[in-house]
Amino acid sequence: MAGLELSTLPQQLVNGILLGSIYALIALGYTMVYGVLKLINFAHGEVFMIGAYAALFASWGLGYTPNNAMSGSNPINLLIMLLASMTLCGLLGVLIERFAYRPMRNQPRIASLITAIGVSLLLQYGGQLFLPSSPAPNIDAKVNPYQDNITIPLRPVDGTLVTAAKQLEAKQLETKAAFDAYLTRTKESPFQLSVAGQPLKKAAQDAERDLRTAEGKAEASGLSIRLPKGQMIMLVTTVVLMALLNFLVMHTKPGRAMRAASHDFDAASLMGINVNSTITFTFLIGSALAGAGAMMNATFLSGTKIDTFFGMLPGVKAFVAAVLGGIGNIPGAVLGGILMGLAETLVVWAGYDSYRDAIAFIVLIIVLLFKPGGLLGSNKVEKV
């Protein structure tokens, strides 16, 4: 495998954090539900999938249909999609809790777990009946007005190399113009040239290649990181949502109820806390966060295809992230998500592309071997 390329490391760290922010949003839902109910909500990945569909339908409703998309967009469209996705996911989460988990609440915990898997499969395969999934649709890139990058230079480029590249530009333009003029004049295809056109084409290609090589060299002399605006918005939104969540849980009344229910379910209900509405609220918030993650994933990573299995792998990875950070622990979920994103990207950086998905589980096994409670979790051994 390829040797380690240090020059791409800063960029890959950025890629990893950006990817990790999506995992973090999903992981929050797992961790909140686990914290309160001690239930691993395996249907959470499917809520994420429905969120992506909600964003897709919202984008269609706004006029960005395939092959016929409006050009130009504005942030309001993105906000509408985000709200559509969060609302629908929140509702779905509440419904799942009300009809699938609540009847099982007083049964052994394994019953709830199996119900969760059932709901997950129901949404994956049942969804195929009424959701467009083959061929898999995607949100049109035009809905995203933030296509460009912010470039942050870490080391300036070599000025002489830039000038050298600039000098080649004139020749490239000149030869290209000559070849284009020839094509217009003779109406020949560039790929079925007569003998007269061949040297012109060769000259144009050689000049272009020289220019690109020089440009590449100039670029490689410096070091910069590229922050895609869309994905930066994703990161910022994630951070804001997490801060809001933290405030909600730590400093508000429903949050206190949530913590109380998490601490001791029965005692909390004896103390006059409406446990049912607290749980509903937990599902509402957790699922809405997954919806936000889904909308941003499907929109800002252009061309991402959406099918009914869309939530499966992200769901599994986010679950691992939640366990990694210490399941039930909110900052832990965020840390776990970011670590997962970084691990995945750094594996690619090291040249082991195919280990990308495996790394999630390798990391999980290692952490659980040494710290069974997760990185930020307690090491309290639970009696089963």
Partner 1 sequence: MNRSLFSAALLATVLGITAVGCTGGGETGKEKTGDPAPTAPAGGTTAVRPEPTGEGVKAEGDTIKIGIVGSLSGDQKPWGEDSIEGGKMAVEEFNAAGGVDGKKVELLVGDSASKAEQAKSAAEKLISEGVIGIVGEVASGHTIQIAKSAFQKAIPVVAIGATKTTLADEGTNVTRVCYTDDFQGPVMAKFAFDELGLRKVGVMTDNQQPYSQGLSKSFSDTFKKLGGEIVGEAFYESGQTQFNGQITELSAKKPDGLFLSGYFTEVGPIAQQVRQAGMKDVKLLGGDGWDSPQLLVSGGDAIIGSYFCNHYNNREDRPEVKQFLEVWKKAHGGKEPGTTMAALGYDATKLMLDGLKRAASLDSKALIAAINETENFPGVSGKITLKGANGNPKKRALVVEVRSEKDGFQVFQKAYEADEVK
Which residues 6+ apart lie within 8 Å of 151 measured at CB?
224, 225, 226, 227
Q: Pick from 24, 25, 88, 301 the residue near partner 1 by CB under 8 A.
A: 301
Going residue by residue from 231 to 270, which x/- string records binding to partner 1, judged by CB under 8 A? ----------------------------------------
Residue 142 binding partner 1, by CB under 8 A: yes
Per the CB < 8 A criterion, the answer to whether 345 and 12 are in contact is yes
Q: Which is nearer to partner 1, 103 or 351 (CB)?
A: 351
* CA distance linking residue 156 with residue 153, whole number of Å: 6
| Binds partner 1 by CB under 8 A, chosen from 353, 366, 368, 378 | 353
Q: How far is the CB of 210 from partner 1 (least distance, A)?
A: 11
Q: Using CB under 8 A, which of 152, 362, 366, 368 touches partner 1? A: 362
CB of 157 to partner 1, least distance (A): 13
| Distance from C-alpha of 41 to C-alpha of 371, rounded to nearest angstrom | 23
DSSP-derived letter for residue 99 is I
Cβ(295)–Cβ(77) below 8 Å: no
Contact mark string toward partner 1, 184..213, x via CB under 8 A = -----xxxx--------xx--xx-xx--xx
> Which of 115, 120 has the CB closer to partner 1?
120
Backbone torsions φ then ψ of 277, nearest 5 degrees: -70, -30
**Residue 228: CA atoms inside 13 Å, Cβ hemisphere, count?**
20
Rounded to the nearest 10 degrees, how much is the dihedral formed by the CA atoms of 276, 278, 283, 289? 170
CA distance 192 to 186: 12
Query: Does residue 344 touch partner 1 according to CB under 8 A?
Result: yes
Residues that bind partner 1 (CB under 8 A): 1-2, 5, 7-8, 11-12, 15-16, 18-19, 66-67, 128, 134-138, 140-142, 147, 149, 189-192, 201-202, 205-206, 208-209, 212-213, 216, 219-220, 226, 228, 297, 301-305, 307, 309, 312-313, 316, 344-345, 347-349, 351-358, 360-362, 365
